[in-house]
A and B are shown apart, each in its own frame.
Chain A
Amino acid sequence: MNLISISTAKRTKSVGIWLALATLLALLTGVFSVHPAHAAENCVPDSETACVEGIIRTSDKEPAAGVELSLNGPSGEATTLSGEDGRWSFPVNVPGSYEVTLNVETLPEGQFISQTDVRQIEVDLGKKGAALFPLTADESAAAEAGGEVVSTSKGSNQFSWPRFWQQFVSGIRMGLLIALASVGLSLVFGTTGISNFSQGEMVSFGGLLAATFMTLIGNLIVAGILAILAAALFGYFQDVLMWKPLRKRGLSLMQLMIVSIGLSIFMQFTFQFFYGGGVVSVGAPRPETVEFWGITLTTYSVFAMIVSIVAIGAVGYALMYTRFGRATRAISDNPPLAKASGINVDKVIRIVWIVGSGLAGLAGVFFALIFNGITWFTGGQMLLLFFAAVTLGGLGTAFGAFVGSMIIGLVVEMTNIWLPGDLKFATALFILILILLVRPQGLFGRKERIG
């Protein structure tokens, strides 16, 4: 970089942005501990090969290594052991029906097969066929070895009231988690106009960091708090080093949106680079479960729901009754007017970034905790749900974002009762599109005024 011309305003801004990215990189690399890359011998299907494969996990979702499996079918017989990541696979070169048998003797101690030890699988060349062997820690629930052959099929989607209520509560839990991330998204949109596509990665960031801090410290609460603080700090640096200079540079909103997409890609693959492509577990102790009215929840879930409600309530209170909240709403209404009436717009926006990122980090910690780990792509996957929630509620209104989140959360979990699991995100996005057709300004949004 040319030091002489640094005095010109434009160059200084460029330096700022370079610095921003450098710091970002440093921040990310500094914090992450490098995990070893996975060394599984994966079977890759091609025109000559088909794969029969699966992952074996213990009842607490940890990969089970060293389990012996044998294959019998048109291409002959074979035996293999599951790898460190619980993965096993048989490459075969004749299509047809195969039988996979799990040797129950080789299961980790205290683990039992919960359904069957023999599965039948159909594979075509160039394709994969998966056989699942769910395990349980409960001996009384174990299936008998050598039992009947079960062919692989999805669980049936039958309606029952207990299941309905279970999914309903899961929906509320999902809604609260989505709300944590969407409120930040909505506040940032309201105050700066940016549709921030990297909000999902803030969620992954929180969850992954919680895992790292957990291995370093070992105390779940401390690790969680540190992860949230780190996320908030990251939000602060994002604004100081990146978003603010870019705003001052006069980039259009569309440019900023694309910048956020770039940041999102960058962060995703930084995560993948350091944490690998698999599920990163927080390594928290196994939770107790609580049962009420026929609904089963882990203590983590209950804890997460309570904390989420408190956090969202606090943000809502702050928005309604504090000076900062009023300033935030004034900026959302009319930035020039807010500025003219003496509100420090930049400061408010900075706080919004910090709070928004912190909340997203919190959501990430809970995601990792409730769903037994988090991947580099968890946030990216959820991002569209956040957008759906925010759009549903009305772009830029925090309360709308909350209501939208709850609706989306319920939709995601409840449609699971009737529709195949592959579609649970699709329905939420479909609802988003429907809403835009009927009520484009969202449930709580204001119509735009032209002219």
Chain B
Amino acid sequence: MSKDPNYPYDRQKLRETLNQLEQVPGVSKPDSILTVDNIERRFGGLNAVDVNHLEVQRGAITALIGPNGAGKTTFFNLITGFDQPSNAPSLFGSGDAKWSFNGRDLGKTAAAKVARAGMVRTFQLTKALSRMTVLDNMLIGANNQPGENLFVGLIHPLWKQRENENIEKAKELLVRFKLDEKINDMAGDLSGGQKKLLEMARALMSDPAMIMLDEPMAGVNPALTQSLLGHIQNLRDEGTTVLFVEHDMHMVRHISDWVVVMAQGKLIAEGLPEDVMKSQAVVDAYLGAHHDRDLGDDAALTTGIMTSIANEAELEAGRNNS
């Protein structure tokens, strides 16, 4: 990968820069790769996401933490084009939701285009392409294959060389993620942890400027967790900004440079990992989650509540489309 002159390869320096920032939600960063303004998503009457302002520092490992149901995954979906904000600008009425990545406006951009812009995500429930080989999974991650055009694809010589280059690259990545022995296995036959690794490796095939990992450590055994954390740090060191979601705040302390905390759809704190964990708002949010009604916590959901949410969602859907 070619070196990006603007990228802060020196992590120590980056941390010093971050150290000088004021630790309040929505604080402005000196070199922001992703800037989000006024993004809201309502399901029924519940505000799943309501973020006023957030900037993500280029080159940092930013952890997005929060209790279950804080709206972290929904936030990811919105940013990456898998869901539309409720206040998205539309034909009827104007919304004020707006976010930009690497200086490019992303509001209303389709998920595929977001990925092509250099912001690639993974999923909480891994989405390995089960009935394709590990190698094919990797190759599909590359974004520079001309043969993915129908007509070019028909003519072998036009894409053969790029294919070979991509295979080489895939092999390197697989070696790095210790999946090289599985290269011809069906992805569906991998273990849960291996699928997580594959998903991460696949996302790297297109050399994204930023990778968004949705709970990369969920459901992975402790031994693999350590190596995953190592991989994430390597990603950063080699030039990829990392934003990752995690609900266990202790997991993120060692590797993240900056922590953003969400609860009930809102940003409640932002700061250095060692400081933000002590903040009263964060402690309250985590403890409070066990008392309050909460969207993602299945145990707290009774059928009654579900029905009321459903009804509200219906009304909501009606409003959106009228």
Contact = CB atoms under 8 A, between A and B. Distances in A.
Given A444-B314, A451-B74, A451-B77, A334 B306 contact: yes
A441 interface: yes
Given A329-B307, A441-B317, A451 B123 contact: yes
Contacts of A333: 303, 306-307, 310
A447 interface: yes
Interface in A431-448: 439, 441, 444-447
Contacts of B77: 450-451
Interface in A316-355: 326, 329-330, 333-334, 337-338, 341
Interface in B296-314: 298, 301-303, 306-307, 310, 313-314
A390 B151 CA distance: 40
Contacts of A449: 43, 83
Most buried by B among A338, A439, A446: A446
A450 B310 contact: no
Interface in B7-58: 43
B82 A326 contact: no
Majority secondary structure, A binding face: loop
* Chain A interface category by residue count: 10 to 19
Given A330-B303, A451-B123, A446 B314 contact: yes
B76 interface: yes
B82 A341 contact: no
B321 interface: yes
B82 A451 contact: yes
A220 to B, nearest CB: 42
B74 A446 contact: no
B303 A338 contact: yes
Contact of B73 (A341, A441, A444, A451): A451
A337 B303 contact: yes
Interface string B85-106: 0000000000000000000000
Interface in B255-305: 298, 301-303
Contacts of A337: 298, 301, 303, 306
Nearest to B303: A330
Nearest to B298: A337
A446 B307 contact: no
Contact of A446 (B82, B124, B313): B313
Contacts of A439: 321
Interface in A408-443: 439, 441
A330 B306 contact: yes
A446 B310 CA distance: 8
Give the interface size class of chain B.
20 to 34
Nearest to A443: B318
Nearest to A331: B303
Nearest to B309: A333
A337 B74 CA distance: 21
Contacts of A444: 314
A368 B226 CA distance: 70
Nearest to B214: A451
Nearest to A336: B298
Nearest to B78: A451
A399 B306 CA distance: 18
A341 B76 CA distance: 30
A373 B31 CA distance: 77
B145 to A, nearest CB: 26
A374 B275 CA distance: 77
B317 A326 contact: no
Contacts of A450: 77, 82-83
B122 to A, nearest CB: 12
Contacts of B303: 326, 330, 333, 337-338, 341
Nearest to B125: A451
B53 to A, nearest CB: 23
A440 to B, nearest CB: 10
Nearest to A449: B43
Nearest to B48: A449
Given A326-B303, A337-B303, A451 B313 contact: no
Nearest to A394: B314
A447 B318 CA distance: 10
Contacts of B321: 439
Nearest to A338: B303
A254 to B, nearest CB: 14
A439 B318 CA distance: 10
A189 B77 CA distance: 28
Nearest to B111: A450
Nearest to B320: A447
Contacts of B306: 330, 333-334, 337
B121 to A, nearest CB: 10
Contacts of B123: 451
Contacts of B124: 451
A439 B320 CA distance: 11
B11 to A, nearest CB: 31
Interface in B190-223: none
A337 B124 CA distance: 20
Nearest to A397: B314
A450 B306 CA distance: 17
A330 B308 CA distance: 11
Interface in B64-83: 73-74, 76-77, 82-83
A190 to B, nearest CB: 12
B88 to A, nearest CB: 14
A279 B74 CA distance: 56
Contacts of B310: 333, 446
A450 B111 CA distance: 12
Interface string A123-145: 00000000000000000000000
A415 B77 CA distance: 44
A90 to B, nearest CB: 55
Contacts of B320: 447
Given A444-B314, A450-B83, 20 more contacts: A326-B303, A330-B306, A333-B310, A337-B298, A337-B306, A338-B303, A341-B302, A441-B317, A446-B310, A446-B313, A446-B317, A447-B313, A447-B320, A450-B77, A450-B82, A451-B73, A451-B74, A451-B76, A451-B83, A451-B123
Interface of B: 43, 73-74, 76-77, 82-83, 123-124, 298, 301-303, 306-307, 310, 313-314, 317, 320-321
17 contacts: A329-B307, A330-B306, A333-B306, A333-B307, A337-B303, A341-B302, A439-B321, A445-B317, A446-B317, A447-B317, A449-B83, A450-B82, A450-B83, A451-B73, A451-B74, A451-B82, A451-B83
Q: Give the 9 A-B residue pairs with the shortest CB-CB distance, closest first.
A: A451-B77, A330-B303, A447-B317, A450-B82, A333-B306, A446-B313, A446-B314, A451-B73, A451-B82
